[in-house]
Structure 1
């Protein structure tokens, strides 16, 4: 899998306003109503991670989830990171409804 250029990354981020590109990765932070809702979303995300065989770096503090995506094997951001970011966005959007 090939690493995306900065221009390609910036273009794709236009459709993912919660995400930013820095330090050779894409990053997002999501705030939930409470810890239970945050952890529930993380559990659903875990299934997507397994399905895509791609696992984020993430931290959870009470109701805040911080996620970093990069493809370590490729040495940067790839299509795989954006596929997972989109899946994560769908899960977060479901929680907001």
Structure 2
């Protein structure tokens, strides 16, 4: 069981997660990559990371634009699982040039 982050903890975490924004009980980031193949490659790597973390983002792919949405549904809001995976996603995006 992961503890919910309070509003201050979420604000603090987002300071270290450029491009991520809070949207209710989720954090969201939309990225644009060079092309569809690169976008799918990032999604593939994030899928492996999510499986390892046993925490899965909602992912929307539109050609080279990918939106990641994170929330710990079982806890009803945001936890460290979300901010940790957001940091990993950001690393994957940066490595792909996004």
Q: Confirm or deny a common fold (TM above 0.5).
A: yes
Shift of 1:17: 1.4
Which blocks of at least 5 consecutive residues in structure 1 are unaligned? none
Q: How many angstroms does 1:93 deviate by?
A: 1.1
Cα displacement string for residues 59-97 of structure 1 (whole angstroms, at most 9, x for unaligned residues): 000000001100001110000001110110111111118
2:39 paired residue number: 38
Report the TM-score when normalising by structure 1. 0.96
Name the residue aligned to 1:12: 13
RMSD of aligned C-alpha atoms? 1.1
Corresponding residue of 1:54: 55
Residues 1:75 and 2:76 are matched in the alignment: yes
Give runs of ≥4 in structure 1 deviating > 2 Å. none
Q: Using the alignment, how far apart are the partners of 2:69 and 2:42 within structure 1?
A: 16
Q: Provide structure 2 residue ranges, at least 5 long, that are not aligned to the other structure.
A: none
